[in-house]
Homo-oligomer: A and B are copies of this chain.
């Protein structure tokens, strides 16, 4: 990946989106993030790296957050939501694999930190992140719904609270830079939340 060697002669291919450019830009964005971290990430830097014009980037991504989010989802799409048969197993896998474990790879964590940070000051970024979040949360709630169907938890349990607590824990660890240290506590977190859920039966 991110070969950056198509330096020469990536010109227009006529009146349609050039996939090679999009790839090159995403590769460059990833490389810039990998090398300079969040602070070094700028549209300028990506354009330089990709040997692309800034307007080409702005044409397809309205702002840097959208671009970062695209880089992020390129990774994310590789990982599927778990289905272990028990709610505890699902949540442990969710936290361990989709959240903390995924972010432990420095780049993924870096990108997501950047996206969250950006969303605090940029309205467009906040919207993009909320849309992304809503989708993820919807899919996470399914884990609890399945548990309800299996009778592991009562029908009237607050599924959103369970997910929120788990996701919130992961975010917090990410944002204070303690992802690696916190991975040992995954089971304790899930157990605490489940024990605290009224009517839960292991």
Contact = CB atoms under 8 A, between A and B. Distances in A.
Interface of A: 37-39, 113-114, 116-122, 126, 129-130, 133, 158, 161, 164-165, 167-169, 171-173, 175-177, 185, 188-189, 191-198
Contact of A121 (B39, B185, B194, B196): B39
Contacts of A169: 164-165, 168
For the complex, would chain A's binding face be called helix, strand, loop or mixed by DSSP majority? helix
Contacts of A168: 165, 168-169, 171-173
A140 B172 CA distance: 16
A135 to B, nearest CB: 13
Contacts of A122: 39
Nearest to A161: B188
B121 A38 contact: yes
Given A114-B121, A120-B38, A122-B39, A192 B165 contact: yes
Nearest to A41: B121
Contacts of A129: 176
B185 A161 contact: yes
Contacts of A196: 191-197
5 contacts: A114-B121, A120-B175, A161-B189, A191-B196, A194-B196
